[in-house]
């Protein structure tokens, strides 16, 4: 997968950032694009609002108009297995399990104009093109591929709010740029609401696209500038609806008509090109207005120097990646820096260069004193992504909490975000895990805003009785299974979230609130069945529901997990959980079973979001609920099992190949798990300042912290075989526990792991 030979790497420095290593070659954005990773390979700046990436097939209909069920596979627009590229669109999620975006698809073609994308089996049937991975290069902030049908070289890069395209055409009198404003990801329910385009002059257009999909109410404004004037242009409206349209009486709207509107628009721009002539496009986005999009464009890219834009973006990528310098095997380096890359592409910047953004209340707001972020996949990312950012991106994570607070202030429901992107909450997944992110950021001293207002937002959210069973949960301490299909996982998640609120209240000396929420934090006990040793759904009458199946992920009261995985979901109190499960020995035995059991084939058929490889025994790493579970051995007398299982997962679930991710990257959560675990520590319960130690997969890691300190993880004798920790020294002193504190990291210093091939059973 590496595009450069390794020996060259360490010789290569950017001229103007002398102290930095060039880590670009260790990032392979193609990792996770095959199977279930749902990553996108295209160009984006760190935390960029634009994700300019190839879409290989997002068209959910067969030729006969029947839905082909393929939407899920195209959450990121691109499938490595595909043989054709439909075009390059400007917005993509990284690793989600539901889809949206794919706005403003651009495709260059030559020859007879084709406005339909055509079908994969016959790329000549439309504007799409065959391509091969041999010509494909994917780097942070850069993507390149040869479009074979028409022999057009496509290259792209991006700044935070602007995508830049560079197409090298053959000689032709019929060279086209297609702008497909109908195309999008998750279009099978016809999410297009409205489109508007204004041709300002022969090299600039502006407009917007409005959709109602995963984000129910979403409008993206754009400005699109061409490096070369088109000599003609036109459009076709594929909407069959006939509305009064006086335009038609006055003009031929099909060609060279500069004011276009409708539901399903495809446009084309015609050029005459010389051999190897480059046509470049700047494509800027805004959530506010066309003029803001134009302002974003002019502020971020003020000329047509594609190479300079690419260089600058890759420099900013290097600056971000250099926050952690590791020594490790090549595979680990690629996994590590690709993971780090994936943790730095979301959440995404969501305000214009002038500070404006469209808020959750659909009005325009100004981000005062912070960068506003969106794309909060919180059920996933509270676990490891935001804790990781608290260490290596505290300023950004502070701004992310600011953004969550702005969302709360704009919420008619008076709730913090659940799963928000653009000015919407799609309410995906469960819990109110924003409170975990907020508590963790405040407890770790990261959040710069008012902690008391933040606590108030957490309380209001957690007390929203109408929200998915919270009323029952508050009154009864559990959610009756006859009232909700995900009664158990919700209770477990609420209990953890409530523990976070309690920790925050404690920090702010709000004892009454602490007492209320620390009590709620024990509600997980209500779903624990001491007879079976599992978390089980309970009915309104207090009895456990019959026909319980701890392996089944459907209809058992859980979401994206079964009881085998969820029964360990008490990150806030493993001690009590161990006690409930019968003590140290029984608990270890149960954990052992999880990691070693043989699952029936049927299990895989019915499990979403993950591949067979995403499961180890019965432990599902491809989904998140058990992400902390390997670390629970640390609370037993066999912590070496944490060490081996963590290394096991690092090895099996992350590979430096397109199919290298065992499940959806889930907006960086899978990758954040890798980054932290590979360095040897993991936040089992965000909201606490403790990290459980595991087994580092790197030889050396150096974290350059924003406060100027450096925290180093050293290893002695670390190898694929030497996965067991013999001893750990913090700043030279033996550590007699399997945990470190946040302050141990932030104060700088050295954590040294002395490794061995055998467990340290002392």
Query: Which positions touch a copy of itself (CB under 8 A)?
Result: 98, 186, 189-191, 193-194, 196, 198-200, 206, 208, 210, 212-214, 216-217, 241-247, 249-252, 256-259, 261-262, 289-291, 361-364, 411-413, 418-419, 425-428, 466-468
Q: Which is nearer to a copy of itself, 20 or 217 (CB)?
A: 217
For the bound state, the minimum distance from the C-beta of residue 214 to a copy of itself, rounded and expressed in Å, comes to 5
Task: Quote the CA–CA distance of 554 and 430 in Å, as a whole number.
Answer: 15
- CB of 265 within 8 A of CB of 197? yes
For the bound state, the minimum distance from the C-beta of residue 358 to a copy of itself, rounded and expressed in Å, comes to 10
Q: Which is nearer to a copy of itself, 262 or 660 (CB)?
A: 262
What are the structure tokens assigned to 141, written together?
């902030």
For the bound state, the minimum distance from the C-beta of residue 60 to a copy of itself, rounded and expressed in Å, comes to 13
Burial 318-338 (b: 16+ CB within 10 A, else e): bebbbbbbbebeebbbbbbbb
For the bound state, the minimum distance from the C-beta of residue 91 to a copy of itself, rounded and expressed in Å, comes to 17
For the bound state, the minimum distance from the C-beta of residue 289 to a copy of itself, rounded and expressed in Å, comes to 5
Q: Which is nearer to a copy of itself, 142 or 233 (CB)?
A: 233
For the bound state, the minimum distance from the C-beta of residue 612 to a copy of itself, rounded and expressed in Å, comes to 27
CA 616, distance to chain mean position in Å, is 23
Q: Which is nearer to a copy of itself, 470 or 521 (CB)?
A: 470
Q: Which is nearer to a copy of itself, 414 or 741 (CB)?
A: 414
**DSSP per-residue codes, 389-457:** HHHH-HHHHHHHHHHHHHHHHH-TT----SEEETTEE---SSS-THHHHHHHHHHTT---S-HHHHHHH
Task: Quote the CA–CA distance of 632 and 317 in Å, as a whole number.
Answer: 35
Q: Are strands 364-366 and 356-358 parallel, antiparallel or unpaired?
A: antiparallel
Give the closest residue to 487 by CA, choosing from 433, 540, 413. 540
What are the structure tokens assigned to 203, written together?
């090299």
Q: Which is nearer to a copy of itself, 429 or 442 (CB)?
A: 429
Q: What phi and psi values does residue 271 have, to the nearest 5 degrees?
A: -140, 160
For the bound state, the minimum distance from the C-beta of residue 191 to a copy of itself, rounded and expressed in Å, comes to 6
Nearest-10 Cα torsion for 65, 67, 68, 72: 140
For the bound state, the minimum distance from the C-beta of residue 287 to a copy of itself, rounded and expressed in Å, comes to 13
Helix H or strand E encompassing 759: none
Q: What phi and psi values does residue 265 have, to the nearest 5 degrees?
A: -115, 135
What is residue 158's three-state secondary structure?
strand
Q: Which is nearer to a copy of itself, 213 or 618 (CB)?
A: 213
Q: Which is nearer to a copy of itself, 99 or 123 (CB)?
A: 99
Please report how the helices 511-520 and 487-507 are oriented relative to each other, as an axis angle in degrees rounded to 10.
160
For the bound state, the minimum distance from the C-beta of residue 351 to a copy of itself, rounded and expressed in Å, comes to 17
Q: Which is nearer to a copy of itself, 123 or 211 (CB)?
A: 211
Q: Which is nearer to a copy of itself, 104 or 681 (CB)?
A: 104
Task: Quote the CA–CA distance of 730 and 107 in Å, as a whole number.
Answer: 55
The single residue listed with the structure tokens 């030889």 is 699
For the bound state, the minimum distance from the C-beta of residue 706 to a copy of itself, rounded and expressed in Å, comes to 35
């Amino acid at each position: 997968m590496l595009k450069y030979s390794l020996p060259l790497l360490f010789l290569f420095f950017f001229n103007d950032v002398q102290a930095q290593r060039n880590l670009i070659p260790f990032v392979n954005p193609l990792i996770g694009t095959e199977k279930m990773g749902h990553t996108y390979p295209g160009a984006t700046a760190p935390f960029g609002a634009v994700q300019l990436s190839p879409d290989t097939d997002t068209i959910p209909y067969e030729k006969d108009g029947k839905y082909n069920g393929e939407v899920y596979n195209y959450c990121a627009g691109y499938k490595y297995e595909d043989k054709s590229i439909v075009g390059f669109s400007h917005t993509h999620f990284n690793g989600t399990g539901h889809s949206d975006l794919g706005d403003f698809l651009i495709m260059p073609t030559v020859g007879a104009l084709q406005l339909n994308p055509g079908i994969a089996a016959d790329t000549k049937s439309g504007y799409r093109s065959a391509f091969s991975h041999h010509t494909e290069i994917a780097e942070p902030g850069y993507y390149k591929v040869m479009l074979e049908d028409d022999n057009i070289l496509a290259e792209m890069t991006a700044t935070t709010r602007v995508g830049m395209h560079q197409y090298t055409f053959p000689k032709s009198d019929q060279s086209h740029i297609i702008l497909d404003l109908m195309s999008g990801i998750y279009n099978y329910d016809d999410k297009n609401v409205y489109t508007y385009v204004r041709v300002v002059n022969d090299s600039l257009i502006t407009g917007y696209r409005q959709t109602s999909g995963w984000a129910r109410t979403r409008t993206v404004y754009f400005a699109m500038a061409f490096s070369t004037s088109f000599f003609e242009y036109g459009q076709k409206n594929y909407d069959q609806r006939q509305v009064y349209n006086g335009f038609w009486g006055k003009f031929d709207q099909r060609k060279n008509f500069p004011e276009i509107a409708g539901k399903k628009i495809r446009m084309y721009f015609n050029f005459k090109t010389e051999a190897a002539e480059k046509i470049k496009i700047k494509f800027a986005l805004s959530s506010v207005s066309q003029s803001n999009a134009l302002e974003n464009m002019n502020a971020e890219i003020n000329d047509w120097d594609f190479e300079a834009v690419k260089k600058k973006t890759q420099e900013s990528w290097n600056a971000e990646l250099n926050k952690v310098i590791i020594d490790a095997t090549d595979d680990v380096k690629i996994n590590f820096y690709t993971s780090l890359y994936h943790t730095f592409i979301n959440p995404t910047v969501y305000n214009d260069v002038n500070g404006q953004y469209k808020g959750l209340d659909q009005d325009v707001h100004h981000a005062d004193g912070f960068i506003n972020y969106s794309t909060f996949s919180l059920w996933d990312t509270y676990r490891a992504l935001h804790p990781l950012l608290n260490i290596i991106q505290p300023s950004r994570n502070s701004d992310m909490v600011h953004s969550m607070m702005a969302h709360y202030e704009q919420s008619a429901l008076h709730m913090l975000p659940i799963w928000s992107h653009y000015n919407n909450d799609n309410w995906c997944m469960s819990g109110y895990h924003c409170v975990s992110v907020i508590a963790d950021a405040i407890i770790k001293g990261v959040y710069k805003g008012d902690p008391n207002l933040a606590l108030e937002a957490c309380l209001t959210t957690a007390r929203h009785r109408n929200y998915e069973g919270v009323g029952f949960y508050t009154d009864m301490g559990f959610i009756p299974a006859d009232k909700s299909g995900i009664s158990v996982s919700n209770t477990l998640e609420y209990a953890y979230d409530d523990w976070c609120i309690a920790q925050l209240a404690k920090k702010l000396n709000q004892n009454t609130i602490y007492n209320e929420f620390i009590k709620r934090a024990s509600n997980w006990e209500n779903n624990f069945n001491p007879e079976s040793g599992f978390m089980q759904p309970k009915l309104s009458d207090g009895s456990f529901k019959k026909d319980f199946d701890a392996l089944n992920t459907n209809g058992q009261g859980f979401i994206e997990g079964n009881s085998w995985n969820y029964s360990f979901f008490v990150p806030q109190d493993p001690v009590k959980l161990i006690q409930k499960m019968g003590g140290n020995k029984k608990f270890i035995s149960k954990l052992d079973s999880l990691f070693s059991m043989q699952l029936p084939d049927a299990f895989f058929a019915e499990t979403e979001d993950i591949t067979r490889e995403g499961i180890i025994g019965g432990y599902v790493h491809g989904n998140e609920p058990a992400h902390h579970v390997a670390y629970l051995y640390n609370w037993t007398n066999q912590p070496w099992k944490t060490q081996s299982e963590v290394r096991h997962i690092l090895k099996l679930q992350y590979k430096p190949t397109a199919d290298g991710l065992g499940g959806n990257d889930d907006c960086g959560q899978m990758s954040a798990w890798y980054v932290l675990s590979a360095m040897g520590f993991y936040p089992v319960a965000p909201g606490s300042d403790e990290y459980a130690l595991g087994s580092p997969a790197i030889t050396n890691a150096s974290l350059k912290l924003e406060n100027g300190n450096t925290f180093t993880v050293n290893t002695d004798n670390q190898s694929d075989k030497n996965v067991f920790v013999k001893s750990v020294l913090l700043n030279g002193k033996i550590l007699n526990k399997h945990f470190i504190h946040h302050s141990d990291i932030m104060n700088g210093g050295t954590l040294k792991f002395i490794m061995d091939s055998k467990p340290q059973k002392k």
